[in-house]
Structure 1
Amino acid sequence: MSVNILNKVAKYAVALGIAGAALQSSVFVVPGGHRAVVFNRFTGVEEHVRGEGMHLKVPWVQRPVLFDIRTRPRSINSVTGTKDLQMVNLVLRVLSKPNRDLLPRIYSRLGQDWDERVLPSIGNEVLKAVVAQYNAEQLLTQREMVSRQIRETLTERARQFDIELDDVSMTHLTFGKEFATAIEQKQVAQQDAERSKYVVMVAEQEKQAAVTRAEGESEAAALISTALATAGDGLVQLRRIEAAKEIAQTLSHAKNVAYLPKGGNILLNVPNN
């Protein structure tokens, strides 16, 4: 009796095991942030993309292929030449993801490692093409415009491979030692030019001041000549009085002078010829 029961349990267990294995091989789960493309052994890659969750499949006939559709970062390094033949090292940071609606075509054309196959190639291509349009100095002074042109060109190029770019930015930009030395020499030359310009400006101002001073002295001499011609010796007498006052004031403060002449007017006592 017990043997028969054990045989029945064993048969049911085997049946359940076979059914569980068949069920397990007939379903697959797509995790979050992923999509599944189904490859059919008879018809090829199916156009219908499976979303997140549990799905049925035909064992041996259908094989699901998972794609991560979340945005992933990637750095692209390129050494290229500028318009003026200067070598520049550029590092580009790219945030990319596959077009979820075109995953079957991506799988047929590129496979699961689509980013490894496409992005380094088109990234170097776009960098070389854009950088060759600018001089080395323009890459520094117009960096935002260069980065925008690279982003627009690379986004359009990636779209041809059904790849979406969320962000493209230039994170690193360095030049060779020769260009760095040339920039340093140019800055020194500019500083010398500014210094020379300042010296010339000062000399010009001094020249203008000398001209103005000479014009003032000439005008003063002309006024004095006019005054002498119209007022006779009155102006000369006035100048003598002013000079005598200055001399008397100077002598009064001197320690080695005990007294002044009684008249107090030294120059006025000089007889006129």
Structure 2
Amino acid sequence: MHKLHFIIFILDLQTINITLRILYRPRAELLPKIFCKFGFKICCTKSQFDAIELITQRTLISQSISELLIERAAQFGLLLDDISITHLSFRSEFTSAVELKQVAQQDVEKQRFLVEKTEQSRQANVIAAEGDARAADLIGKALDEAGDGLIELRRIEAAEGIANQLSKSRNIVYLLHGPQMLLNITGAMQ
């Protein structure tokens, strides 16, 4: 097993730190030649991917790197068993910019949600006001057709409800109206 660390430049001019883990073994029949030509160097001269692709297409990139390294290692008589990207990091400026962009996108989504919520609330208020206006219009028409009898009926029903509640309350005392009210007071004092 061998770990390789690279700093490469990608299409959008970002620098990236990549760490690869390579599991390899020499082909037994080529061991003598390997010792004669010991060592190999991998150099990435041109990147095919930008930063977003490196994040979103990591498997494809790992496969592409594997193919290149397997081909190159074959020239030195090495069989590569496994190649994995174990570490991928960007410059701190780029990482900060991505984080700021995500925060800005979240703020935009939040504002969009608040605008939609306000619009829906406004529509609900308009619908409620239209309903109230329609109800008032229907009540007005009913009063025009039936006259003041409906209003008088509602007054009587309300007074009846109030009287019913008051009659059930223990804290209410009824006083008679007129001169009979003081009739039995002197008898009660003796």
Give the TM-score, by structure 1 length.
0.56
Assess if the C-alpha contact under 8 Å between 2:37 and 2:76 holds in 1.
no
User: Given residue 143 of structure 1, which amino acid in structure 2 is its aligned partner?
Assistant: R
Where does the alignment leave 5 or more consecutive residues of structure 2 unmatched?
178-190
Assess if the C-alpha contact under 8 Å between 2:23 and 2:82 holds in 1.
yes
- SS of aligned partner of 1:111: helix
> Partners of 1:84 and 1:165 in 2: how far apart?
30
- Give the superposition deviation at 1:200: 1.3
Deviation track 1:207-234 (CA, whole Å, cap 9, x = no partner) reads 1210220121122112112212322222
- SS of aligned partner of 1:84: coil
1:63-78 aligned within 5 A: 73-78=1-6
Compared with structure 1, are the counterparts of its residues 261 and 138 closer, same or farther at alpha carbon in structure 2 (3 Å cutoff)? farther
Compared with structure 1, are the counterparts of its residues 245 and 113 closer, same or farther at alpha carbon in structure 2 (3 Å cutoff)? farther
Give the counterpart of 1:111 among 27, 31, 35. 35
Identity between Structure 1 and Structure 2 (%): 45
Larger RCO (CA under 8 A, 6+ residues apart): 2
Give the counterpart of 1:213 among 119, 124, 128. 128
Give the counterpart of 1:165 among 80, 86, 93. 80
Q: State whether structure 2 residue 8 is matched by structure 1 residue 84.
A: no
Q: State whether structure 2 residue 96 is matched by structure 1 residue 181.
A: yes
Assess if the C-alpha contact under 8 Å between 2:4 and 2:19 holds in 1.
yes
> Partners of 1:249 and 1:187 in 2: how far apart?
65
> Partners of 2:143 and 2:97 in 1: how far apart?
69
Bigger-Rg structure (1/2): 1
Q: State whether structure 2 residue 63 is matched by structure 1 residue 148.
A: yes
Aligned twin of 1:223 = 138
1:193-272 aligned within 5 A: 193-245=108-160, 248=163, 258-259=173-174
Deviation track 1:168-192 (CA, whole Å, cap 9, x = no partner) reads 1111111111012112212221221
How many corresponding residue pairs? 176
User: Given residue 75 of structure 1, which amino acid in structure 2 is its aligned partner?
Assistant: K
- Give the superposition deviation at 1:90: 0.7
> Partners of 2:15 and 2:2 in 1: how far apart?
23
Compared with structure 1, are the counterparts of its residues 94 and 213 closer, same or farther at alpha carbon in structure 2 (3 Å cutoff)? same
User: Given residue 90 of structure 1, which amino acid in structure 2 is its aligned partner?
Assistant: I
> Partners of 1:260 and 1:242 in 2: how far apart?
23
Give the counterpart of 2:27 among 88, 91, 99. 99
Give the TM-score, by structure 2 length.
0.77
Compared with structure 1, are the counterparts of its residues 76 and 217 closer, same or farther at alpha carbon in structure 2 (3 Å cutoff)? same
- SS of aligned partner of 1:172: strand
- Give the superposition deviation at 1:258: 4.2
RMSD value, Cα: 2.7
User: Given residue 111 of structure 1, which amino acid in structure 2 is its aligned partner?
Assistant: F
**Higher share in strand:** 1
- Give the superposition deviation at 1:157: 2.7
- Give the superposition deviation at 1:151: 1.1
